[in-house]
Chains A and B, each alone.
Chain A
Amino acid sequence: METILDIHDVRKSFGSLEVLKGVDFSVSLGEVVCLIGASGSGKSTLLRCINLLEKPDSGTITVFGENVLAVRNVDAYRAKVGMVFQQFNLFNNMSVLKNCMIAQRRVLQRSEKEASEKAMYYLKKVGMDNFANASSVTLSGGQKQRVAIARALCMEPKLMLFDEPTSALDPEMVGEVLNVMKQLADEGLTMVVVTHEMGFARDVADRVVFMDKGIIEEEGTPEQIFTNPKSERTRTFLSRYIQ
């Protein structure tokens, strides 16, 4: 399968704290990869390096065959990579529909009509089309996150990054967001998901990557990782989940 994301020896420090200590990692087209690991293990930083919200100190990141650390137009690159945040980050000054349209209009220069049709299409996909004209601040957490997913999908990214998309949700709302993500995975969208939802990782991921202290400790299929992890560290971390 075609490799669309290739990370080689990426390192990143914040001051004296070394968060990524040489990470090698790749994702194929249509693959769903879940990044798991303890807080502070570098999962989110790795994800944020991929769309350049953080700049790695060294190493290479190749996306769609392009060395993204050398690209001139970072904005154009980011438009091709969707990102969903833990805190949703919907634009508070806009309606649900406008949230989904603004970047289409400003970045992709789509017409008002095309942008709104696209927005409605993806809002329907996440089950939020009835809320198109609602102010984004009036939604519940799960609704906000579904809109945030639709907003990212409107840009028709080839790769979607999810940074703990359900960690800020109460248990009741986790399901609705995971259902949407599962549907996207089934449709063949390439996804990299940082998550603490082990059930989701086990059921949906093609590959699970366990990170610990800034390196990839172990990776493999969900069965390997969840039933028979090789590394002692992985075993300890997953002890609650291993059957």
Chain B
Amino acid sequence: MNNKSFFDIMWSLLSKYWPSILLGVQTTLEVALVGTAAGLCLGLLVGGFKAVKLDYTASPVSRFFKKFFDVIATVYVEVFRGTPMMVQAMFIYYALLNVIHWDKLTAAMFIISINTGAYMSEIIRSGIQSVDPGQTEAARSLGMSNSQTMMNVIMPQAIRNAFPAIGNELIVNIKDSSVLMIISITELMFQAKSIAGSSYRVSETYFLTAMIYLVLTSIASVILHFIEKKINRRTTSIPQSDTDPSNINLAAGKD
């Protein structure tokens, strides 16, 4: 065994433990994907409401609810951004265990979702702020309501603007789901720890684990880049001119 090189050992670890590594990869991907998707939904909701600016036409009731919601949303974002996910995982899992008797995987997905949601709502909020205020003015001048403007005009542009940051959260989640090993779900880091424990090959195991994480995040990067290219159509005008006034077909009946 001593004559074997570092990579030989890694290879033998892989061939011996591949079923549990595969399970780890599967769990990690499940948790990361669910967390990012649910976090995005949560972020759209929280960030969307937070970014709504009520103008003077809003009723006092909606004004009150907006204020109330803003306070809740701010507390939520600050708490979940401001404390480690590992601590959140331990606290929430055990605090709710006696109440709802949930299984660990569900708990992990729940925790990563609300954690991601806090970041996502800030991403969505800044995405909304990046949309030109003239877009809102135009929509309102056509008689569209606050919510119609948000859903039809602002949100689609905000999501497109924020897409790189949203995709980044998926990559972060693939890596950071590793801290959820603290509640013993079978994600990749947890599996790595048990493999290292039973094989006594610590550095080889974790190097292998790092490589697997890198492969996963790289694949995610490529996919995200592809989607980004798809949704980013041209955003500048194509140089052209049909501006000679004589070319303009003014009469509705012509041709």
Q: With an 8 A cutoff between CB atoms, is B19 at the interface?
A: no
Q: State which of B110-118, B218-226, B231-239 sits at the interface with chain A.
A: B231-239
List which B33-63 residues lie within 8 A (CB) of chain A. 56-57
Interface of A is mostly: helix
Instruction: Pick the most buried of A76, A78, A91: most chain B CB atoms within 10 A of its CB.
Output: A91
Known: A106-B152, A137-B237. A91 touches B248 (CB 8 A): no
Interface size on A, residues (CB 8 A): 49
The reply to whether A152 and B235 form a contact with Cβ atoms under 8 Å apart is: no
Q: With an 8 A cutoff between CB atoms, is A121 at the interface?
A: yes
Q: With an 8 A cutoff between CB atoms, is A85 at the interface?
A: yes
Instruction: Show the binding face of A for B, using Cβ within 8 Å.
Output: 51-53, 55, 74-83, 85, 87, 89-93, 102-103, 106-107, 121, 124-127, 135, 137-143, 148, 151-152, 155, 172-173, 175-176, 179-180, 183
Give the residues in chain A near B252, CB-CB below 8 Å: 121, 124-125
Interface size on B, residues (CB 8 A): 35
Q: How many A-B residue pairs have CB under 8 A?
A: 113
The reply to whether B143 and A138 form a contact with Cβ atoms under 8 Å apart is: no
A-B contacts, 23 of them at CB < 8 A, read A55-B56, A76-B143, A78-B141, A80-B143, A82-B141, A87-B132, A89-B132, A89-B134, A90-B138, A91-B153, A92-B135, A92-B235, A103-B142, A103-B143, A107-B143, A107-B148, A121-B252, A126-B250, A135-B233, A135-B234, A137-B236, A139-B237, A176-B245
The reply to whether A102 and B152 form a contact with Cβ atoms under 8 Å apart is: yes
Chain B residue at minimal CB-CB distance from A134:
B238
Chain B's nearest CB lies how many Å from the CB of A56?
11
Give the residues in chain A near B145, CB-CB below 8 Å: 75
Those 8 A-B pairs whose CB atoms lie nearest each other, nearest first? A79-B143, A89-B138, A103-B142, A83-B141, A89-B134, A175-B245, A107-B143, A93-B156
The reply to whether A176 and B243 form a contact with Cβ atoms under 8 Å apart is: yes
Give the residues in chain A near B240, CB-CB below 8 Å: 140
